[in-house]
Structure 1
Amino acid sequence: MRIIKKILCFALLSVAISSCTLFGLDFQSNEEYEAKSGTNKINQTVWDFIQSRPDIFSTLIDGITYAGIESLYKESGNTHILLTNSALSSGDNCYWSLNKVLPEGRTDSIKATAWEQYDKAEVKELLTYHILKKEWSYDNLSSTVNWVETYGTGKFKYTKDGQTLDGDTAVMDIRLGQDRNLPLQLNNFSWNIRKLLEASAGSCRTTNIKALDGYIHVSDWYQPRPTRYFMGQE
């Protein structure tokens, strides 16, 4: 009986070892563990990456062309918050919905249907504000407030308490949420259109893409600008 049990145990062990090999769970062949990890690098420039995804960046591409700022997306060493169609033209919280236009012959403002309904300077300001100077990634960000310069000129208008006011600050706060998943958060303040974000909430759908000439973070939300008042400077 003991001999039979030993034979059965040996047979089961053999099957188990074979199964590990069969399903790709090979035993480690040496003592030194070699970690396998994905890469965040892409073999494309920022501009090539944008053009390769017209399915989500068609409105951004049209806006860049309309504003005539293609060259800014070809400079090295910057961080690009790339705005998807959801951020710019699709949905109730996109730029076209929240910044209505007044077509000729109408008395009420409506959602825009094309960039040509806006002044070129306004479109340029919107897009250049989402280009940050220097490269910002998980390598040099923390959960502390981090105001960084953008390529915006700082002249813009914003609405507060039903009044249209002038703003003059073209900086953006970029940091990591205080959560173990470290979501990337942009302008996480009460004056943002998303209000205050939870520690586990992020502003971007895809982050930390390292292109050949800079970093990319993809967002479904455009960012409103802060003002000196909100930043406690006046």
Structure 2
Amino acid sequence: MKVFRYFIGLALFCFSLSSCTLFGLDFQSNEEYEAKEADNKVNMTIWEFIQDRPDIFSTLIEGIQYAGIEDLYKEPGNTHILLTNSALSSGDNCFWQKNPVILPGTAEAIAATAWEQYDKKIVRELLTYHIVRGEWSYFNIDSSDRWIETYGDGQFSYNRDGQTLKGDTAVMCIKAGHDRNLPLQLNNFEWNYRGLLAASSGSCRTTNIHARDGYIHVSDWWQPRPSRYFMNQE
């Protein structure tokens, strides 16, 4: 019986070796490991990339066109935090849900259903804040807090604890999370409306996309603006 089991086991082992070749899973031919680098480049501009994915960027496209800032998405040498429909118009934490509007002839604030329900300045400020000056990727970002200028205006207001407060800077905090996956985290500080992000929770779902005219990071979260108070500068 033991001899029979031995031959059965040997046959299964031999089949497993041959099946690796049979199903295209060839063994490495030598002992030297050959590393392969993933190509993060896309052969299109940032604006072309956005328009190529209306399934996830339709709300962003409409917002850009409504605010009249298409040219900013064609300016080379910047980093774009591209906001998905989940960040802007779909879900409990999307921008439309967190920033309700009062429609003409009504008194109750409700979630927005179109950009036209906002002043163009609000939409412009939201989107330009997610355009970071300069090219930022894993080549020059580490796990330390790095505050970087955006295209957003310096003066703005924000809500915290039910109060409308004034901010005076339009910078964004970008860093790589302390995790083996190195999630790219944006504005990861305690007053963020999502609360302090866990170390393994990245603000961006897809990162480090190198377009012909800049870098792209795709996020399901829109970012509130910090003020000097929360940056410990006053």
TM-score past 0.5 threshold: yes
| 5+ residue gaps, structure 2 | 1-6
> How far, CA to CA, are the matches of 2:12 and 2:86 in structure 1?
55
Distance 1:28 1:196 in 2: 44
Alignment of 1:15-164 (within 5 A): 15=15, 17-30=17-30, 32-164=32-164
Q: Which moved more, 1:23-32 or 1:121-130?
A: 23-32
> Kindly tell me: are residues 102 and 13 of structure 1, through their superposed partners in 2, closer, same or farther at Cα, counting changes over 3 Å?
closer
Q: Give, as a single letter, the amino acid of the residue that structure 2 aligns with 1:54.
A: P
- Distance in 2 between residues matched to 1:28 and 1:228, nearest whole Å: 56
**Aligned residue in 1 for 2:189:** 189
Structure 1 length-normalised TM: 0.90
Offset, 1:31: 5.5
Spell out, residue by residue over 1:155-190, the C-alpha distance to the aligned partner (whole angstroms, 9 max, x if none). Answer: 211122322122111000000111111111000011
Report deviation, 1:120: 0.8
CA 1:8–1:102 in 2, change beyond 3 Å: closer, same or farther?
closer
* Alpha-carbon separation, structure 2, partners of 1:113 and 1:16: 57
Q: Distance in 2 between matches of 1:118 and 1:19?
A: 61
How far residue 77 of structure 1 moved from its aligned partner, in angstroms, is: 1.2
Give percent identity, aligned residues only.
Answer: 71
Q: Which runs of 4+ in 1 moved over 4 A?
A: 7-17
Higher deviation after alignment, 37-46 or 209-218: 37-46
Hey, what's the Cα distance between the residues in 2 that align with 1:15 and 1:96?
58
CA pair 227-28 structure 1, distance change in 2 beyond 3 A:
same
Cα deviation for residue 16 of structure 1 reads 5.4
* Superposition CA RMSD, Å: 2.0
Deviation at 1:32, TM superposition (A): 4.5
CA positional deviation for 1:8: 10
- 1:91-131 CA-to-partner distances (Å, cap 9, x unmatched) read 11111111111111001111111111111111111000000
Q: Partners of 1:164 and 1:13 in 2: how far apart?
A: 69
Give 3-state SS (helix, strand or coil) of 1:173's partner: strand
Q: Normalising by structure 2, what TM-score?
A: 0.90
Matched pairs, number: 228
* Counterpart Cα distance in 1 of 2:11 and 2:183: 49
Task: Specify the SS of the correspondent of 1:169.
Answer: coil
SS of the residue 1:205 aligns to? strand
Quote the Cα distance in structure 1 between the aligned partners of 2:189 and 2:8: 66
> Aligned partners of 1:8 and 1:232: how far apart in 2?
70
| Residue matched to 1:3 | none
